[in-house]
């Protein structure tokens, strides 16, 4: 008789909740709503250092959503909900708010690349501001 032992992994969040899964693939984790936050060794996907449960992930997202840091707000999806705020916030972040070339700088930042969204436009804008200011 052949016996197959199924390996299981137990993940624990810092809040005390834990979950047991059959494998650590991105697909399985996504279906649970849990997320790997960091690894002991980046090359080894089994060397998980810390994980977050869905409730803690949502709490962290809400914290970033109302943060003063524009990158936090970008990662929390704030500008997906408030697209009209991005232009002013991005220009203010790089010190170009009210600058005569602000509008041109923003258009150019967008033209340079926006496939990766607000984060990419912001990085472009930072580079442009460095040249202008």
Among residues 8, 52, 17, which one has the least CA distance to residue 33?
52
61 — phi, psi (to 5°)?
Answer: -65, -40
Query: Does residue 96 touch Zn ion according to CB under 5 A?
Result: no
Least distance in Å: CB of 13 to Zn ion? 3
Least distance in Å: CB of 17 to Zn ion? 5
Q: Which stretch binds Zn ion (CB under 5 A): 17-25, 27-35, 40-48, 124-132?
A: 17-25
Q: Retrieve residue 133's tokens.
A: 């200011």
- Identify the residue among 15, 26, 62, 97 touching Zn ion (CB under 5 A): 15
Cβ proximity to Zn ion, 15 vs 62, nearer residue: 15
Cβ proximity to Zn ion, 55 vs 111, nearer residue: 55
In angstroms, rounded to a whole number, what is the distance separating the alpha carbons of residues 125 and 116? 14
Using CA atoms, how far residue 7 sits from 46, 76, 117, in Å, is 12, 34, 39
What b/e sequence results for 39-75 when a residue is b if at least 16 CB atoms lie within 10 Å of its CB, and e otherwise? eeeeeeeeebeebbbeebbeebeeebeeeeebebbbb
Least distance in Å: CB of 56 to Zn ion? 3
Find tokens 């449960």 and name the residue. Answer: 53
Residues binding Zn ion: number (CB under 5 A): 5
x/- site string to Zn ion, residues 37 to 76, per CB under 5 A? ----------------x--x--------------------
Query: Does residue 13 touch Zn ion according to CB under 5 A?
Result: yes
In the complex, which residues of this chain contact Zn ion (CB under 5 A)? Answer: 13, 15, 17, 53, 56
């Amino acid at each position: 008789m052949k016996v197959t032992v199924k390996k299981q992994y137990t993940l624990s969040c810092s809040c005390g909740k834990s979950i047991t899964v059959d494998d650590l693939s991105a697909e399985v984790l996504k279906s649970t709503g849990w997320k790997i936050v960091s690894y002991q060794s980046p090359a080894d996907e089994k060397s998980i250092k810390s994980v977050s449960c869905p409730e803690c992930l949502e709490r962290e997202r809400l914290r970033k959503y109302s943060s003063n840091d524009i990158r936090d707000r970008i990662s929390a999806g704030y500008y997906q909900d408030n697209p009209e705020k991005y232009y002013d916030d991005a220009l203010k972040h790089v010190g170009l708010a009210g600058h005569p070339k602000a509008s041109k700088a923003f258009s150019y930042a967008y033209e340079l690349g926006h496939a990766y969204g607000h984060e990419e436009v912001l990085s472009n804008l930072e580079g442009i501001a460095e040249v202008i200011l």
